[in-house]
Homo-oligomer: A and B are copies of this chain.
């Protein structure tokens, strides 16, 4: 089973994601990391993002738009997508984990979690 070795590229990606409030695409991440590591390749960015998502250190947000977006802040929180300017914002809200129980009622399998995002108009667009 593959041992995971240190790589400065992966560190740079993690560092960049933990420090930004945006929810960048792989390409945006690539552009940014390139400022410190001009030789990094897009393939490496994708490979590391997949690794980090798998390890639970980064969240992948998809279905918003053509390409996936990534979020380095893994504490439980929800996202808001503006229908007008397509910005993604973090929502500070109380837990809605009880909807798992609602879903589990009368369901023969086992609901373990949910993925939710909210949409509407952001502060500037409303």
Interface residues in chain A, defined as those with a beta carbon under 8 Å from any beta carbon in chain B:
62-63, 78, 80, 82-83, 89, 91-94, 96, 99-100, 102-103, 105-126
Contact of A102 among B63, B94, B117, B126 (CB under 8 A): B94
Q: Please, how many angstroms separate the alpha-carbon atoms of A124 and B18 in the complex?
A: 39
* A62 neighbours in B (Cβ, 8 Å): 62-63
Question: Interface residues of A: mostly helix, strand, loop or mixed?
Answer: mixed
Known A99-B96, A102-B94, A109-B125; contact A115-B80, beta-carbon cutoff 8 A: no
What 8 A-B pairs are tightest by C-beta distance, nearest first? A63-B63, A112-B120, A62-B63, A109-B122, A108-B123, A116-B116, A111-B120, A109-B123
Contact A113 B109 (CB under 8 A): no
